[in-house]
Amino acid sequence: MTMKHKEAKIKGVNLHIIPFSEIRELSISDRIKKILHLVLGNKVLIIQGRLRPEEEIRLIEDTMAMVDHVKTFKGIELAVIEPDLGDETFMMKVRKGIAKTLVGHHNALTIIGPASIVKEIKKDPKKLEVLLG
Amino acid sequence: MIAFLKRFFSGWFKRRDNLKIGFYGPPNAGKTSLANLISQDWTGESVGIVSEVPHETRQIQFKEKVEVEHKGKKLVFKIVDTPGIATKIDYEDFLRFGLKRGEAKRRAKEATQGIIESIKWLDDMDAVIVVMDASENPYSQVNLTIVGNLVARKIPVLLVANKIDLKNASVKKIESAFPDYDVVGISVKKRINIDELYEALFRLAKKV
């Protein structure tokens, strides 16, 4: 699947779509740097694929460092939409997620936005609601 | 890879009576309350202060050599109580709890540093108790990220669904969100299911 780099404005919200090919070759540090750079620019990101667990936790860590240093930055909202994996358990999904990340095939979508814009992301197994502030 | 090797070799020399058990989870789930309950039961001392204001715990807190005896079994471990992990911190959230602006800003700054510290300590844990609020949605990304990282690091985990005394609490929701894990529903406040908690604690230690 190929996705072209897109930007769209919905009622003043700047959506930024990142195809996996755009971050595939980046190191963890560069991926996180790129994500945070865009989020600091008040963009809501939709990333094709999902970050590995260690990248997610690194994103939280670096987000906190930014909150500490950038006066108006309050942090992020983050959620992952998984494809229908049937009866697979959480552990299987995590393992599969790790394997997929390594080979670069992604069906999941990751939403990351600045907390000042994305008030809340409500998630349950079947739906995801993004509440804008 | 380095973390794996570190865990592999440290496992050779690790004594089963010197475990480090981390208390992780989102803010206000009851990590320190649970750490206090266990510590008070077996040492007579508290680990830290609890409060309804989020991010009361902003530094890692320890209680060394907690010796638990339950149904003829004995377990000695170190409690590592960590600041709650969150993806956002806004000092204005603290104002509605009556904190003054300066105090709220200072709390926010310390809270961000506390989260960083919690994350850095993950690799040092032998086992982790993830404390969740049973009345909240278990599918929050913070819960998924914490558990995902424990799976990736091969650290044994026990999920504690706290606050089951609340009307809208559901242990089943947590069980269906994390079906691979041992989930124990408790209420620290009302001391409900504490025997089951100790049973689960021994099962957790066995996995190390």
- pLDDT for residue A1: 42
Tell me if A115 and B151 make a contact (CB, 8 A cut-off).
no
From A65, A74, A122, residue closest to B116, measured CB to CB? A65
ipTM over 0.85 threshold: yes
Q: Which tokens in the block code for residue A94?
A: 């995590």
Tell me if A57 and B116 make a contact (CB, 8 A cut-off).
no
From A60, A90, A124, residue closest to B145, measured CB to CB? A60
Tell me if A64 and B89 make a contact (CB, 8 A cut-off).
yes
DSSP class of residue B196 equals H
- Of the residues B2, B58, B110, B112, the best mutation for testing chain A's interface (the one with the most A CB atoms within 10 Å of its CB) is B112
Contacts of A80 in chain B (CB under 8 A): 141, 144
* H helices present in B14-140, as ranges: 31-42, 91-95, 101-121
Q: Which tokens in the block code for residue B118?
A: 């919690």
Q: What is the pTM (predicted TM-score) of this model?
A: 0.87
CA dist., res. B152 & res. B35, Å (int): 25
- pLDDT for residue A104: 42
**B117, B84 Cβ separation under 8 angstroms:** no
Tell me if B88 and A52 make a contact (CB, 8 A cut-off).
no
Which of B117, B114, B93, B113 minimizes the C-alpha distance to B103? B93
- Give, in order, the Cα–Cα distances in Å from A82 to each of A59, B139, B143, B146: 19, 12, 16, 17
Instruction: Calculate ∠ Cα B165-B167-B173, nearest 5°.
Output: 85
- Residue B150: strand, helix, or coil: helix
B171/A119: higher pLDDT = B171
Give φ, ψ of B88 to 5 degrees.
-145, 150
From B112, B141, B152, residue closest to A67, measured CB to CB? B112
Cα distance from A62 to chain B (closest Cα, Å)? 8
Tell me if B180 and A79 make a contact (CB, 8 A cut-off).
no
Query: Which residue in chain B is spatially nearest to A59 when comparing CA positions?
Result: B87
Tell me if B115 and A76 make a contact (CB, 8 A cut-off).
no
Contacts of B144 in chain A (CB under 8 A): 80, 90
- Residue B33: strand, helix, or coil: helix
pLDDT by 10s per residue, chain B, length 208: 665 665 555 554 455 667 999 999 999 999 999 999 999 999 999 999 999 999 999 999 999 999 999 999 999 999 999 999 999 999 999 999 999 999 999 999 999 999 999 999 999 999 999 999 999 999 999 999 999 999 999 999 999 999 999 999 999 999 999 999 999 999 999 999 999 999 999 999 999 9
Instruction: Report, as an integer, the average pLDDT of A104-125.
Output: 81
**A40, A115 Cβ separation under 8 angstroms:** no
